[in-house]
Structure 1
Amino acid sequence: MARSVYVTGIGRGDGRQAVELGVMELLTRQVDRVGVFRPLTHRRTDHVVELLRGRYRLDLPAEQMYGMTYEEAIALLAERGPDELVGQLVDRFHQVEQQCQAVLVLGTDFAATNIPDELAVNARLANEFGALLLPVVGGHRESADTVVAEVRNAYRAYTDLGCNVLAMIANRVAGRDKQEVQRRLAARSDVPVYVIPDEPALSAPTVAQVVETTGAEVLLGDAAGLARDVRRFLFGGAMLPNFLGALTEGCMVITPGDRADLLIGSLAAHSAGSPPIAGVLLTMGQTPGQDVMRLASRLAPGTPVAVVPDGSFPTATGLSTLEGRLGTTSPRKAETALGLFELHVDTAELTSRIELSRSERVTPMMFEHTLLERARGTELREVVLPEGTEERVLRAAEVLLRRNVCHLTLLGHEDAVRRRVAELGLDLGLDGAQTARARARIIDPETSPLRDRFAERYAEIRSHKGMTVEAAQDVVTDVSYFGTLMVQEGLADGMVSGAVHSTAATVRPAFEIIRTSPGAMIVSSVFFMCLADRVLVYGDCAVNPDPDAEQLADIAIQSADTAARFGVEPRVALLSYSTGTSGSGADVDKVRKATELVRSLRPDLLVEGPIQYDAAVEPAVAATKLPGSQVAGRATVLIFPDLNTGNNTYKAVQRSAGAVAVGPVLQGLRKPVNDLSRGALVQDIVNTVAITAIQAQQAAAQQAAAAEATQQAEKEQQS
């Protein structure tokens, strides 16, 4: 029977959609077949269900995820009574449960439902479904005393109705009250209680919501612009000089359509990044002339400009109560919600209380979730991104910050980076106060005080090549060299580059400055190939064109260690065009010699070679070609004989099998530097940065262990 979690509340405005998203994330980390069921809905499709369905690629038929509408429920309740209503909903729930390993149930929303004693209805459904109950109590604009009382009352009410309460969550609590509420509730509670502070970015509507609410016509702007958060509304009536001083980051300007000066001034300010606005809403149905609109489109491409027929006052009235919501059109809010949930909820504790056994299958989504979870660790790491004006890098940075994965340093001219951030309508918190959450900063290599220090250091490192401090002054302004020196000098924990730079431009500074680790012969790379039901490790597909036998053995050992560090049990297959002793020739002999070297150097590893790809991964073929092998048919680490074979194979598998290729991940360096494919997508960059943060954690742990061992040895000598 599937394990189910029923998320509900006690009233409106509790923001429980963020909790529902967070619980879904937990479930999908553990098992690969998770269902969603909303017993009662206002319409046949629901924005939260559709968000979960799309984000987590659920393959259940959409109609199975809904029980019935509130209108149908009221009619059935009046005609046949509560037992018939509950009975039908239980039957529909079981249709979902039978197909899944876990089910997330979304309780009623307490919004004009006309369901009598709605809390009791949720309690009964949770009990009939056999689900754990997770009540969410809203704390928006409530005092600490009120929040504490409401949480205790809700717990008492649900337990009195026989519910198995998983935990209690107080959501949208004022930041100043969080610690007090947490302390008071933890002191008197039989279940874990988590307190999540209010996050303005979640309650801020998007530009798209403003357009929908006002019935506006969009004149300019793209999909990314419409997804921007509107943090406040600014009504324009003043003269331009005074008006510009009132602009704030993320504001939406609302002004009569005949005020072309305010339209152009707002967009010019946005283009300059001081400050970046959400968009402009023109009132009274007036659209500026073509010349003005052409200038507006060039000033701030993508920034939304829309027009409404009403005047400013009715427009303001319609927007006064508008709040943001999670949905398929607001992916950035989803990242913010998940980051908030993971920061303030003990996800390990909550997962253990759900009592889900982790699936033996590892899907791409599960692997990616695990990367982000591990990257956060107990201490956020600092990763430097040299390509600070590249759109994909900046979009990935926003995801990483919203998910609280790591601190980021963006390299480039500060004005250029800020201008690009403004053009894209992103929120990187560049001017925000320091908090416990991940933050971003900008460093310009040309003007940074670090330039002189780095020039001296680089000249020292490359003195054997005749490098001088004067020449190094120019070298270190290159963002790849500057970022690598930040890592070398301990000012950053890792670096990720390559979205617009070549592999050589990324790797060469690392070879010169960071160099190979003591146990490695060469620097090599792997890709994590996330197939539908498992994760394989491919090496080397990006760095070494034609390794000899010794180098191939080194790549195999490094790749096995990398696989183990990321949770993939290493069973190593060194690939060739023949299997076992069936073939001969220089290429096969190289692989055979490399296999023997791996066995002698690392007898603890399971290794097979030479072996063909099909015999390495397919049990039926392995049974014929290499019966009795511990690796054949079960290989997880596949080592290609040369770069040509490896690079083409990974791309063929990626495209033809729909695999997610995470990498290349460099191995063999003293400190983590990773390269990106120039075709990398935003999610590829997010994954690679997460891997870099994990590598940094592991390097720090190894250094700490070595230091402790040294101290212990010194103590023993002294004694």
Structure 2
Amino acid sequence: MSRTIMLIPIGGGVGLTTISLGMVRALERQGARVGFYKPVAQLRLGDKGPERSTAIINNATSLTPAEPLRMHYAESLISSDQRDVLLEEVVARYQQFCGNDDTVVVEGLVPTRRSPWANRANIDIAKALDAEVVFVATPGVDDAGQLRERVEIAHNNMGGDKNTQLLGVIVNKVGAPVDDQGRTRPDLSEIFEGSEAHSNASVDAIIKAFKHSKVSLLGCIPWTYDLIAPRVKDLADHLNAEVINEGELAGRRLRSVTFCARSVPNMISHFKPGSLLVTSADRPDVIVSACLAAMNGVEIGALLLTGGFQPDASLMELCKPAMVGGLPVILVDTNTWQTSLNLQAFNLEVPTDDPQRIEQVQDYTASHIDEGWIHQIVAGTDRKRKLSPPAFRYKLTELARQANKRIVLPEGTEPRTIKAAAMCAERGIARCVLLGNPDEVARIASQQGVTLGEGVEIIDPLAVREKYIAPMVEMRKHKGLTEVVADEQLEDEVVLGTMMLAQNEVDGLVSGAVHTTAHTIRPPLQLIKTAPGCSLVSSIFFMLLPDQVLVYGDCAINPDPTAEQLADIAIQSADSATAFGIEPKVAMISYSTGTSGTGTDVDKVRLATEIAKQKRPELIIDGPLQYDAAVMENVAKKKAPNSPVAGQATVFIFPDLNTGNTTYKAVQRSADLISIGPMLQGMRKPVNDLSRGALVEDIVYTIALTAIQSRQLDNVS
């Protein structure tokens, strides 16, 4: 049975798009097949289209929502007393695009002076779609008691307790800066100077006020400045600025604004990570100072030059190292005063083409919606669910939190690693140990605008190296290791981190942001060794397809495994899939399916399949299978009609490294999807390698994987 949840705003400016995004994400996390529908497009003043919520959902998720009806068309039907025609079209589009979904999130209309009929239309659409209703409200200038009264009035206006379709309310923008009328009206200066919010209601007060209300509180979303940090690109487009140096224009985010009107010594304290420095183009002292700060590692957001003066060519040549390092520099014709007014008019809503910010908004909002209620909604549907990418990522972080492991990061002075450690601590994913000089780590963290809280530990290698010499000599005495050589090897932080793992001082190790795979894996192979019963170390990648997660192995370690080794890789990969909530249906990949082909390569795959079946009779495994037969139901019916795996495989085992690595990269790049890994399998203790191009989020998820592996090994032992 499917369910339709309609979000109906109580007033304007409630952040309806944000709540829609959060609802979709919260349902996806529970493995539901989610649909989204905005019946009638409602463009904001100045918007030229497309409709924002539909465009964001279409661009940033795997959903394909219906195009909403144009506002002008809806108004013409209502004004000519053809409301029934409008509702019929709304229902027809719903059935066409959302009929097969478990749960559909429907975004209602916002009542405005231009759309006074919106409240009536919301009620009619909810009835036509047989939708359950969730109100969306924001406190504005009300205190918690006044907010509750306002919500209860809206609840009564739609039937109150007699209307069983009314589920409750989600309160958004708690603690947001508001004007005297209660409208959320932040501008750049208010946000980035950290002004106090004018809202009289707090999260705790709202929760307390609704405890005895007839309206259930289904979510309470605190306002946070982090969700509204725009890209330099967005601001440059708004100002119609000339780009003097592009740098990281599309990636850097602005978190403060400083107008550089004073002397340089009085401005230096404002040269901070994410800072937009606004200065007249004829202030070479400010330009040079900003570039010096950037060259010293401070990731300044951007340099905005006013007045229309082209900066001197020789000056720009002097500042070239900062430009090469990514500092965006933009120029506007307006003077500083007019530029400040233009900045205040900047729209801080999420752009439709900013996937990173959309992802952040979705995750943050979803995390503040009642998880028990979401689970109840999903439990009411009867479709067998696949593990979608959002559900998988959520499962990773939740399992990692439960594991509560201590993970060592040997590359402790690497900026991405420092950011990842801080994020893990903030989210409770793991307790990270950074190896590096504490002063150097603190300096780099400060330059990146990162705060290292209690969940991050910094260990100076020089202070602890000596205590690992004797244990390392003991472990490697059969290889003739001496104290002198051990001391030299321990100068390598990867070796030091591995010894900490070997001595049970940490639960896992993650490296590779600057080191090669061989550099990361060699010390653990020497000091940690393989787990009992494992003959080799292998790897898997988690491939995050739009609607499910697949496991690929081995794509990183074993160049040409034997049939026996291939069987072990299949078993290891199946066990890893199970540990992360993926039902393993293992396809042994080859260039032929079943008995259709011959040759040493396909014979190896066939033999490996038989060996794996003998070792693990309960395992759902089949091979050899061609990739298309393994993944496509229509091909499977023709090539392998009796296979328990063909057409529904979740774990793909490739015959050699050449095939596996090529396939994973081809799929990843051609389909533009995320892959997490490689995750190493078969080690006695968890060690994982990173790509040297890893993003901060990649490192975070790899740390989570490592923590979960450690817990899994605890259960085995």
By the TM > 0.5 criterion, same fold? yes
Which of 177-186 and 378-387 deviates more?
A: 378-387
Q: Give 1:555 shift.
A: 2.6
Deviations 1:652-711 (A, max 9, x none): 6667788865433211123322234557677766654443343244345x17xx6xxxxx
Matched, 1:328 2:352: yes
How has the CA–CA distance of structure 1 residues 340 and 538 changed in structure 2, closer, same or farther, with 3 Å as cutoff? closer
Q: How far apart are residue 199 of structure 1 and its match?
A: 0.7
Against the structure 1 CA distance between its residues 334 and 694, is the aligned structure 2 distance closer, same or farther, given a 3 Å change threshold?
Answer: farther
Report matched runs for 1:265-414 at 5 Å. 265-274=289-298, 276-300=299-323, 301-320=325-344, 322=346, 324-353=348-377, 357=381, 360=384, 362=386, 365=389, 368-369=392-393, 371-372=395-396, 374-375=398-399, 377-378=401-402, 383-386=407-410
Letter in 2 for 1:179: D
- Partner residue of 1:125? 125
Partner of 2:20: 20
**Alignment-mate amino acid for residue 305 of structure 2:** L
Letter of the structure 2 residue corresponding to residue 515 of structure 1: K
Q: Which whole-Å deviations, capped at 9, do the CAs of 1:284-328 have from their partners, x for residues lacking one? A: 333432222333443253333333333333333443465622123
- 2:233–2:250: 8 Å Cα contact kept in structure 1? yes
Q: How far does residue 18 in structure 1 lie from its aligned partner after superposition?
A: 2.8
Match of 2:498 among 463, 484, 499: 484
Give the counterpart of 1:242 among 258, 266, 271.
Answer: 266
Partners of 2:404 and 2:67 in 1: CA distance: 38
Deviation at 1:523, TM superposition (A): 1.7
Q: Which amino acid aligns with 1:243?
A: M
Residue of structure 2 in register with 1:185 after alignment: 210
Residue 492 of structure 1, CA deviation: 5.1
User: Structure 2 vs 1, CA of residues 623 and 262 (structure 1 numbering), >3 Å: closer, same or farther?
Assistant: closer
Deviation at 1:365, TM superposition (A): 3.8
The whole-number CA distance in structure 1 between the counterparts of 2:339 and 2:639 is 74
How many residues matched? 686
Going from structure 1 to structure 2, the CA distance change for 1:634 and 1:343 (only over 3 Å counts) comes to closer
CA distance in structure 1 between the partners assigned to 2:548 and 2:559 by the alignment: 27
Check conservation: 2:155, 2:215, Cα contact below 8 A. no
**Residues 207 and 518 from structure 1, CA distance in 2 versus in 1: closer, same or farther, beyond 3 angstroms?**
same
State percent identity of aligned pairs: 36
Give the aligned residue type for 1:37.
K
Q: Is 1:169 aligned to 2:156, yes or no? A: no
Deviation at 1:367, TM superposition (A): 6.4
Please tell me the residue identity of whatever aligns with 1:347.
E
Could you say what secondary structure the match of 1:40 adopts? Answer: coil
Partner of 2:59: 54
Consecutive unaligned residues of structure 2, counting only runs of 5 or more, are 177-200
**Is the CA contact 2:594–2:640 (under 8 Å) kept in the aligned structure 1?**
yes
Alpha carbons 1:374, 1:694 under 8 Å: kept: no
Contact 2:542 2:676 in 1 (8 A): yes
Q: Deviations over 1:159-208 (max 9, x none)?
A: 54958234422222239932332233234355343222221112444434
- Indicate conservation of the 8 Å contact 2:52/2:352, yes or no: yes
Which residue pairs with 2:70 in the alignment? 68
1:461 aligns with 2:441: no
Within a 5 Å distance, the mapping from 1:503-582 to structure 2 comes to 503-529=517-543, 536-572=550-586, 574=588
Counterpart residue number, 2:450: 430
1:199 aligned partner: 224
The residue that corresponds to 2:188 in the other structure is none
Q: Which residue pairs with 1:665 in the alignment? A: 679
The alpha-carbon deviation at position 54 of structure 1 amounts to 0.9
Q: Secondary structure of 1:186's partner?
A: coil
Q: Deviations over 1:477-521 (max 9, x none)?
A: 434334434544566543343455332212112212332222423
SS in structure 1 at match of 2:202: helix
Deviation at 1:403, TM superposition (A): 7.7
Superposed counterparts of 1:91-170, under 5 Å? 91-98=92-99, 102-110=103-111, 113-116=113-116, 118-139=118-139, 143-160=143-160, 162=163, 164-170=165-171
Q: What is the deviation of 1:241?
A: 0.8
The more displaced of 5-14 and 158-167 is: 158-167
Q: Which moved more, 1:647-656 or 1:564-573?
A: 647-656
1:434-453 paired onto structure 2 within 5 Å: 443=458, 446=461, 449-453=463-467
What is the distance in 2 between the residues matched to 1:632 and 1:248?
55
Kindly provide the CA deviation profile for residues 4-23 of structure 1, in whole angstroms up to 9, marking residues without a partner as x: 33233223443343322211
CA 1:643 to 1:232, structure 2 compared with 1: closer, same or farther past 3 Å? closer
In structure 1, C-alpha distance between the alignment counterparts of 2:626 and 2:82, rounded to whole Å: 66
Q: In 1, distance between residues paired with 2:136 and 2:174? A: 11
* Partner SS for 1:135: strand
- The amino acid of 2:340's aligned partner reads A
Residue 695 of structure 1 aligns to a residue whose secondary structure is helix
Report the Cα offset of residue 629 of structure 1: 5.5
Task: State which drifts further: 158-167 or 412-421.
Answer: 412-421
Q: CA RMSD in A?
A: 4.4
2:49 matched to 1:44? yes
CA distance in 2, matches of 1:285, 1:295: 20
390-399 or 594-603: which moved more? Answer: 390-399
Change (3 A) 1:373 1:55: farther
TM-score if structure 1 supplies the norm length? 0.79
For residues 392-420 of structure 1, the C-alpha deviation after alignment (integer angstroms, 9 at most, x for no partner) is 87898898789876565666677887888
In the alignment, structure 1 residue 230 sits paired with structure 2 residue 229: no
Equivalent position amino acid for 1:291 in 2: S
Indicate conservation of the 8 Å contact 2:102/2:381, yes or no.
no
- Structure-1 separation of matches of 2:437 and 2:399: 28
Separation in 2 of the partners of 1:211 and 1:563? 45
Q: Is the 8 A contact 2:37 2:94 kept in 1?
A: no
CA distance in 1, matches of 2:228, 2:105: 23
Query: Is this contact kept in 2: 1:220–1:303, CA < 8 A?
Result: yes
Amino acid of the residue matched to residue 65 of structure 1?
A: E
Change (3 A) 1:671 1:142: farther
> Could you tell me which of 207, 216, 219 is aligned with 2:244?
219
Amino acid at match of 2:123: A
Distance 2:422 2:242 in 1: 29
Decide whether aligned partners of structure 1 residues 506 and 202 sit closer, same or farther in structure 2, where only a CA change above 3 A counts. same
Q: Which residue identity does 2:334 align to in structure 1? A: D
Question: Is the alpha carbon distance of 1:39 and 1:690 closer, same or farther for their aligned partners in structure 2, counting shifts above 3 Å?
Answer: farther
Shift of 1:616: 6.1
> Do the aligned partners of 1:6 and 1:104 also contact (CA within 8 Å) in 2?
yes
Query: For residue 516 of structure 2, what is the aligned residue in structure 1?
Result: 502
Q: Distance in 1 between matches of 2:255 and 2:334?
A: 22
Q: Is the 8 Å Cα contact of residues 103 and 378 (structure 2) preserved in structure 1?
A: no
Alignment-derived partner of residue 688 in structure 2? 674
Secondary structure of 2:709's counterpart equals helix
Q: 1:50 to 1:383 in 2, by over 3 A?
A: farther
Q: Tell me the distance in 1 between the aligned counterparts of 2:637 and 2:85.
A: 56
Q: Distance in 1 between matches of 2:204 and 2:269?
A: 36
The Cα shift of 1:56 comes to 0.8
Q: Could you say if the C-alpha distance between residues 267 and 379 of structure 1 is closer, same or farther in structure 2, counting changes exceeding 3 Å? A: farther
2 CA distance for matches of 1:172 and 1:491? 43
Distance in 2, matches of 1:310 and 1:635, equals 60
Give the Å deviation of 1:650: 4.7
Which residue identity is paired with 1:510? P
Q: Contact 1:523 / 1:668 at 8 angstroms: preserved in 2?
A: yes
Q: State the shift of 1:633 in Å.
A: 6.4
Aligned counterparts of 1:208 and 1:254: Cα–Cα separation in 2: 15
AA at the equivalent of 1:11: G
Quick check: 2:435–2:461 contact (8 Å CA) kept in 1?
Answer: no
Compared CA separation, residues 182 and 395, structure 1 to 2 (3 A): same
